[in-house]
Amino acid sequence: MRIGITCYPVYGGSGVVATELGRALAARGHEIHFIAYSLPFRLSKVTENIYFHEVSVNRYPLFDFPPYALSLTSKMVDVAKHEALDLLHVHYAIPHATSAVLARDILEKESRSLPVVTTLHGTDITIVGQDASYSPVVTYSINASDGVTAVSEFLRQETYDAFDVEAPIKVIPNFIDTEHFRRLEKDHFRSVICAPKQKVVVHVSNFRRVKNVSHVVEIFHRILQEGLSAKLLLVGDGPDRSNVEQLTRDLGIQEAVRFLGKQDPVQEILSIADLFLLTSGSESFGLAPLEAMACGVPVVCSDVGGLPELVQGSEAGYLCSLGDLDAFSKACMKILTDDSLHRKMARHARDYVIRHYDTHRIVVQYEEYYEEIIRKVTA
Ligand code: GMT
């Protein structure tokens, strides 16, 4: 198939999933055309059957707010026509689904067919999409897509609860390349980061408010107060970073916390981690804990959104009530002070990911879904 993929090219879960999907589809012989405003950050190079089409936005002086969604639509039309796309798959509803259905309708006038699949990722439904300034357009664009997928059961249900959506939504969970994401031998790196007996706690996020990164620091503070010798590695960057930095100074634990900023490849950091900690107020799937689990790192996460779908039954860690910092620190202490429990959880984590979330298992689900949607549209 010739498949167009649109995503946010910047650091973030939906862009990672879209890029990895494109790569995996290309490896299975499909021709993949990424359409975005810059090269997706994990797509360092284009290869034989991966193409990149940059969307440039005309910055006419009248435009205080250049209409990116329209430039994207025009590029989608252009690529669909000249590359003879069989299907366009967009990740994150705003504005990608809207641009895609508009592109499809433009092409329909020229008697060309462009089936549109929209994948809902999270904040496009749980936070941003529900804002009155977007909600009617999001509803329309989801209903007008030819196929819709969500990355968890939670997100599927949330979409039906929050929007007037009638379109069937198929759940296809996120996935990971378990060959690439595995525990690597990084003893040298570990010895640079911490003392021999110190434990390493890792958090990875975009430091948006929904991630509650200050809770991560407060939980870590409690762990230190319990007498454990540990280092906290905070990976990623975003709006809350400076507040969180200030909090570490206020708590007097700045020496035990390292801010690593945006990092790729994250598996090198996860390879020295003893625990992954996530305290989000909402999380539709949780790609970051999936990456940690693939690297054999036990996880402690809040019991919100799609996180129970990922963590429950995996025996790879614990879920704690959102904001219950005592419960979080107890759960962390349990894992960090019991070597045999830690070993068991680490093994379960990786095995569980290989069994349920490996790229090979999930990408075929997308392929089958594309075929189903193309059949439906052309019937
Ligand atoms: O976490 C974010 O806000 C970024 C966002 C994105 O679209 O890049 O992440 C969402 O999509 C990821 C990939 O499907 C999911 O793993 C994240 O759970 C989801 N984030 C939230 O729901 C907050």
The per-residue pLDDT for range 280-323, each reduced to its tens digit, is 999 999 999 999 999 999 999 999 999 999 999 889 999 999 99
Token output for 266: 């994250």
User: What pLDDT does residue 332 have?
Assistant: 98
How far lies 340's CA from each of 294, 334, 337, in Å?
19, 11, 9
Region 109-113: mean pLDDT is 96
User: What pLDDT does residue 95 have?
Assistant: 97
Alpha carbons 144 and 138: distance in angstroms, whole number: 10
pLDDT band at 12 (very low <50, low <70, confident <90, very high): confident
Ligand 1 centroid to 284 CA: how many Å? 6
User: What pLDDT does residue 265 have?
Assistant: 85
Alpha carbons 370 and 172: distance in angstroms, whole number: 12
CA 173 to chain CA mean position, Å: 11
Ligand 1 atom closest to Cα of residue 211 = 23
How far lies 89's CA from each of 22, 57, 118, 151, in Å?
10, 21, 6, 14
pLDDT band at 43 (very low <50, low <70, confident <90, very high): confident
User: What pLDDT does residue 32 have?
Assistant: 98
Alpha carbons 189 and 307: distance in angstroms, whole number: 30
User: What pLDDT does residue 41 have?
Assistant: 83
Alpha carbons 198 and 204: distance in angstroms, whole number: 20
* Protein residue with least CA distance to atom 9, ligand 1: 13
In this prediction, what percent of the chain has a pLDDT beyond 90? 92
Taking 90 as the threshold, does the pLDDT of residue 47 lie above it?
no
Helix (H, G, I), strand (E, B) or coil at 3: strand
The CB-based long-range contact list for 347-351 (8 Å cut-off, 24+ gap) reads 347/296, 348/314, 348/315, 348/316, 349/292, 349/293, 349/294, 349/296, 349/297, 349/298, 349/299, 349/314, 349/316, 349/317, 350/178, 350/182, 350/183, 350/293, 350/294, 350/295, 350/296
pLDDT band at 266 (very low <50, low <70, confident <90, very high): very high
The CATH label, of 3.40.50.2000, 3.30.1240.10, 3.20.20.80, 2.60.40.10, for the domain at 2-175+358-378 is 3.40.50.2000
- Pairing of the two strands 317-320 and 257-261: unpaired
Helix (H, G, I), strand (E, B) or coil at 152: coil
126/293: higher pLDDT: 293
Ligand 1 centroid to 119 CA: how many Å? 12
Q: Which region among 1-5, 83-87, 98-102, 128-132 has the lowest average model confidence (pLDDT)?
A: 128-132
Ligand 1 centroid to 192 CA: how many Å? 31
pLDDT digits (tens, 9 = 90+) for 314-360: 899 999 999 999 999 999 999 999 999 999 999 999 999 999 999 99
Taking 80 as the threshold, does the pLDDT of residue 44 lie above it?
no
Domain ranges, ordered by start, for the chain = 2-175+358-378, 187-356
Query: To test ligand 1's pocket by mutation, which of 157, 213, 287, 362 has the most ligand atoms within 8 angstroms of CB?
Result: 287
Query: To test ligand 1's pocket by mutation, which of 11, 118, 154, 283 has the most ligand atoms within 8 angstroms of CB?
Result: 283
pLDDT digits (tens, 9 = 90+) for 143-157: 999 999 999 999 999
Ligand 1 centroid to 211 CA: how many Å? 10
Taking 80 as the threshold, does the pLDDT of residue 103 lie above it?
yes
Helices (H) and strands (E) in the chain, counts: 15, 13
Ligand 1 within 6 A of CB of 286:
yes
- Pairing of the two strands 317-320 and 169-171: unpaired
In this prediction, what percent of the chain has a pLDDT beyond 70? 100
Ligand 1 within 6 A of CB of 40:
no
Radius of gyration of the chain (CA): 21
187-356: same fold as 2-175+358-378?
A: yes
Ligand 1 atom closest to Cα of residue 122 = 22
Taking 80 as the threshold, does the pLDDT of residue 11 lie above it?
no
pLDDT band at 99 (very low <50, low <70, confident <90, very high): very high
User: What pLDDT does residue 164 have?
Assistant: 96
The pTM (predicted TM-score) of the whole model is: 0.94
Token output for 321: 């009530």
Beta carbons within 10 angstroms of residue 124's beta carbon: 26
Burial readout 307-323 (b: 16 or more C-beta within 10 A, e: otherwise): bbbbbeebebbbbbebe
DSSP state of 317: E
Taking 90 as the threshold, does the pLDDT of residue 129 lie above it?
no
User: What pLDDT does residue 319 have?
Assistant: 98
Phi, psi of 67, rounded to the nearest 5 degrees:
-80, 80
Q: At what angle do helices 325-337 and 339-357 cross, to 10 degrees?
A: 100
Alpha carbons 109 and 188: distance in angstroms, whole number: 61
Ligand 1 within 6 A of CB of 287:
yes
* Protein residue with least CA distance to atom 7, ligand 1: 14
Ligand 1 within 6 A of CB of 129:
no
Ligand 1 within 6 A of CB of 7:
no
Taking 90 as the threshold, does the pLDDT of residue 127 lie above it?
no
* CA within 13 Å, CB half, 46: 14
pLDDT digits (tens, 9 = 90+) for 186-239: 989 999 999 999 999 999 999 999 999 999 999 999 999 999 999 999 999 999
Taking 80 as the threshold, does the pLDDT of residue 65 lie above it?
yes
User: What pLDDT does residue 45 have?
Assistant: 72
Ligand 1 centroid to 151 CA: how many Å? 9
Ligand 1 within 6 A of CB of 276:
no
Ligand 1 within 6 A of CB of 53:
no
CB 173, CB 366: distance < 8 Å: no
Region 117-140: mean pLDDT is 93
pLDDT band at 106 (very low <50, low <70, confident <90, very high): very high
Give the 3-state DSSP-derived string for 161-206, with helices as H, strands as E and coil as C: HHCCCCCCEEECCCCECCCCCCCCCCHHHHHHHCCCCCEEEEEECC
Region 48-68: mean pLDDT is 94
Ligand 1 within 6 A of CB of 18:
no
Alpha carbons 5 and 90: distance in angstroms, whole number: 6
Ligand 1 within 6 A of CB of 19:
no
What's the whole-number average pLDDT of the chain? 96
Ligand 1 within 6 A of CB of 14:
yes
Alpha carbons 106 and 294: distance in angstroms, whole number: 43
Domain 187-356 class, CATH top level: alpha beta
Helix (H, G, I), strand (E, B) or coil at 117: strand
Ligand 1 atom closest to Cα of residue 174 = 14
* Protein residue with least CA distance to atom 3, ligand 1: 123
User: What pLDDT does residue 325 have?
Assistant: 98
